[in-house]
Chain A
Amino acid sequence: MLNVYISCRGNFKTKLFRFSSASHRDQRRTMQQVSKGLADLKVEQTVTDPQGNPGTKNRAVTKPVSLNAATGEVMVKKSTGKSKIRKGQPEKEYQRQLEHYIGVEKGPLHTPEGWMAKNEALREVVEGPELDLTLKQDRQQLVSRCHLLYYERQYAECAAYCEKLLSRFEVLTDAKRTQKEKDELRYILKQCQSKLSQ
């Protein structure tokens, strides 16, 4: 069962439609009906700019229409003028995200000075919950450690770390995506070796 609500001006809510099938066709038809019924809610356009020119193309302001206040589901306008529903987030799903945020992520990424040296997963390239080499963000952190060592002119350690990373990156299946990272690691390795030999 899917309920569609329209919320206008605060808490006033009108239940417009109730239907049991969530098929695409039904959804599309419902959206069309909702859009039609909301013609009077279509919103102000910018009348003039400071120079007195009338509002120009694609500069209309739109108000999102709340379809379900409990989940944050809203209907917005696309550039074509068609309506699009931004799906809500049920409370249960939010609680799951919150649990992951607190329990696994431990809040936002915490990066004080010196954090890379203290992070064992990063230092030793230990794959696990903290480090997944198939994720670009995690690979970026590893390459960032290379940048730090290179910046700090710790060329011997940097070269060894580059070699370790290259061997791990080589076995990743998506070679195309990691090509740029591997190219940079090879460049750093070459530069480190050159500086060490001087």
Chain B
Amino acid sequence: MSSLKLRPKPLTHKNDPLAIIRTRQDTHGRPVTIAGPMVRYSKLPFRQVCRKYNADIVYTPMILAREFVRNSHARTADLSTNESDTPLIVQVGVNNTTDLLRFVEMVSPFCDGIGINCGCPIKEQVREGIGSALIYNPDLLCEMVSAVKDKYGNLVRLETKIRIHDNWDDTVALCRRLCDAKVDWITIHGRTRTTRSSVPVNLEAIRYIRERISDKRVPVIANGDCFSMADFNRIVEHTGVDGVMAVRGLLENPAVFAGHTKCPWGALELFWHYTVQFGGLPFRLIQHHLHCMLENMGLEKHLHRELMKIKTTAELLDWFDANFELKRKSDAGFGIAVDIPYSTKSNCSEYGMP
């Protein structure tokens, strides 16, 4: 086995995220669109739905390097993928260089880039020095970036997703150091570690930072409050960034980047298809995805209450078949409907539903 070596996945113009970020404007007439990492939710079926609706680059949820390199069960639970899951960035939560280098060795053959999470505000992670704690620990963060880039160079793409500091100049200083450490691109979430998501994202801060690191020629991606293509254009116009990452907006409407102002029914059909094809998604997670999408579509309230009472995947499927016209891949018109196709024979009781 010692002769077996893992090599990073070859990067071409089709899957190299940096090349895609740099060329999207020329090839598609718009900056790059990115589906960001969501704790628990950016699993393979949802990633594939986002890809169907124009997400150029898609992230996994944050994976803790410490667990991944030490535990096979954690590996099985945290990451599943396939050939069509590309370009894929695996986001990592990490607080030391050793774990990061080992994580990169194990993951880089199966993805197109790795992103260090420096934005997660969850206190359990911050206490461990993971997530947004890293923006207050620039020595460690830059040491980790340098270690990966020194070892792999352009064979592995490495991104950092940061939040802004209370003092924007601290963020500028951090970004300049990251650029010197040869990070490939930087994603900036326009809120501080303690800003609530209900407070609008600070686009002015993103613009301020981008302008002051523009001489480094490292692409900057803006993140925060992208719920529609109108938001996308507004963010790009205000900040001058190379692309926009949507996260919460995609959870309720994975078709944001395709210009849909509300989640189209086809997205739900695709989600069901990928969920059962790939398997392994826990019921509560499936239910939450569907809840978010249906809420965005304005589902009737009594049906929403029924949805939340369901306890298993099979019952959920029966409930969909009873109340809507849920097409399968072999059915004509699969994945293209926009409005909710309520069933005319809506009667849950025959399926044993409450």
Contacts and interface: CB of A to CB of B under 8 A. Distances in A.
Contact of A107 (B110, B128, B140): B110
A63 B135 CA distance: 10
Nearest to B281: A144
B136 interface: yes
A107 B109 contact: yes
B225 to A, nearest CB: 15
A77 B127 contact: yes
Contact of A61 (B2, B80, B136): B136
B143 interface: yes
A98 interface: yes
Interface residues of A, number: 71
A111 interface: yes
Nearest to B94: A72
Nearest to A180: B312
A115 B64 CA distance: 27
Contacts of B2: 95
Interface string B72-90: 1101110111111000000
A64 B195 contact: no
A140 B99 CA distance: 29
Contacts of B194: 46, 49, 55-56, 59
Contacts of B279: 111, 116, 140-141, 144-145, 147-148
A72 B72 contact: no
Nearest to A189: B314
Contacts, number: 188
Nearest to A74: B96
Given A49-B192, A63-B129, A110 B82 contact: yes
Contact of B166 (A47, A58, A77, A102): A47
B314 A76 contact: no
B157 interface: no
B199 A50 contact: yes
A150 B314 contact: yes
B352 A187 contact: yes
A178 to B, nearest CB: 14
Given A9-B139, A61-B133, A108-B79, A71 B98 contact: yes
Interface in A110-159: 110-116, 135, 137, 140-141, 144-148, 150-153
A109 B143 CA distance: 31
6 closest A-B pairs (Cβ-Cβ)? A144-B279, A64-B129, A72-B98, A109-B80, A112-B82, A108-B79
Interface of B: 1-2, 4, 6, 44, 66, 69-73, 75-77, 79-84, 95-99, 102, 105-107, 109-110, 123, 126-129, 132-133, 136-137, 139-140, 143, 166, 192-195, 199, 202, 272, 276-280, 282, 312-315, 317-318, 328, 351-352
Interface of A: 9-10, 43-44, 46-50, 55-56, 58-59, 61-64, 66, 69-72, 74, 76-79, 86, 88-89, 93-95, 97-105, 107-116, 135, 137, 140-141, 144-148, 150-153, 180, 183-184, 187-188, 191
Given A97-B70, A187-B352, 13 more contacts: A59-B123, A59-B194, A61-B126, A72-B66, A89-B102, A97-B71, A99-B4, A105-B75, A110-B80, A111-B279, A113-B277, A114-B277, A144-B279
